[in-house]
């Protein structure tokens, strides 16, 4: 792709399906990163910097955050920020649903209500912003 | 549980700084030179990543003490700032679905804060 194409493409539409899928992937990897980092922080063995750089889940979490940023930038090339950014809130949904499997962090009626509202909110933005 | 004013201020600051991180990523993404190397060369993207890191440091400091019922909605304000900046800097339209959808997300995050007490 030429530079001029990269300059003009994003304003042509509100958000391409590809961009929405990329942000969706971003929320999955963001949730995985958060869970890995929490798990890593709970299982720190060494002290200080040595403890951090020898902690595999923690490092995997950092790497996933890097992947996350690349995915987000690729998504933002062909979509409006006001459409794509709120989709990131789905990260809350995955973390809330997955946390009970890895931590003592049970679901309750508040969390389920919150997750449902976020899913509706994100869907509303996604559906209402189709070109 | 009482929430220190300093925690609220830190989280509010974090959401504000983070929203500018998103703006910089968008600015960088719109002017992206081809290839992965182009991504690494973009100062706008570098600034965006820096602002994200800064906001995460502020978040960690702010969320350490205090009630998540109070602090989570402040975290979610980042979505409101970003919607305002996208209108202001990129002339993206507001519409009913964006505003209503965002309102649902904010209430949803508030409920997750309630559930995490």
Along the 131 residues of chain A, how does pLDDT read in single tens digits?
444 344 444 443 477 889 999 999 999 999 999 999 888 888 877 777 787 788 899 899 989 999 999 999 999 998 999 999 999 999 999 999 998 898 888 899 999 999 999 999 999 988 877 66
Mean pLDDT of chain B: 90
Residue B79 touches partner A, C-beta closer than 8 Å = yes
Contacts 24+ apart (CB under 8 A), B2-5: B2/B66, B2/B67, B3/B65, B3/B66, B3/B67, B3/B70, B3/B71, B4/B65, B4/B66
Mean pLDDT score, B20-35 = 90
Which candidate from A81, A92, A111 shows the least CB-CB separation from B22?
Answer: A81
Residue B76 touches partner A, C-beta closer than 8 Å = yes
What per-residue confidence (pLDDT) applies to A24? Answer: 94
Which residues in chain A are contacts of B47 at CB distance < 8 A? Answer: none
ipTM of the complex: 0.88
The alpha carbon of A82 is separated from its chain's Cα centroid by a whole number of angstroms, namely 16
What per-residue confidence (pLDDT) applies to B48? Answer: 95
Mean pLDDT score, B44-64 = 90
Contact B82 A3 (CB under 8 A): no
* Rounded-to-5 percentages of helix, strand, coil across chain A: 80, 0, 20
């Amino acid at each position: 792709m030429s530079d001029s194409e990269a300059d003009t493409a994003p304003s042509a539409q509100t958000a391409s399906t590809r961009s929405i899928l990329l942000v969706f992937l971003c929320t999955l990897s963001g949730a995985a990163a958060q869970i890995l980092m929490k798990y890593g922080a709970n299982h720190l063995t060494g002290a200080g910097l040595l403890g951090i750089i020898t902690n595999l889940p923690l490092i995997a979490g950092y790497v996933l955050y890097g992947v996350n940023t690349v995915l987000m930038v690729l998504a933002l090339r062909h979509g409006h920020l006001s459409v794509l950014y709120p989709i990131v809130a789905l990260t809350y949904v995955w973390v809330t649903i997955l946390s009970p499997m890895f931590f003592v962090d049970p679901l309750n009626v508040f969390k389920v209500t919150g997750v449902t509202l976020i899913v509706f909110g994100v869907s509303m933005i996604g559906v209402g912003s189709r070109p | 549980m009482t929430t220190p004013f300093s925690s609220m201020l830190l989280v509010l600051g974090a959401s504000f700084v983070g929203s500018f991180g998103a703006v910089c990523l968008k600015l960088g993404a719109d002017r992206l030179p081809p290839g992965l190397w182009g991504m690494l060369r973009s100062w706008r993207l570098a600034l965006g990543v820096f602002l994200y890191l800064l906001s995460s440091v502020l978040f960690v400091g702010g969320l350490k003490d205090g009630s998540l019922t109070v602090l989570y909605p402040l975290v979610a304000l980042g979505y409101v700032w970003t919607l305002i900046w996208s209108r202001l800097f990129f002339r993206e339209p507001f519409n009913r679905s964006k505003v209503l959808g965002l309102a649902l997300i904010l209430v949803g995050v508030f409920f997750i804060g309630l559930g995490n007490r």
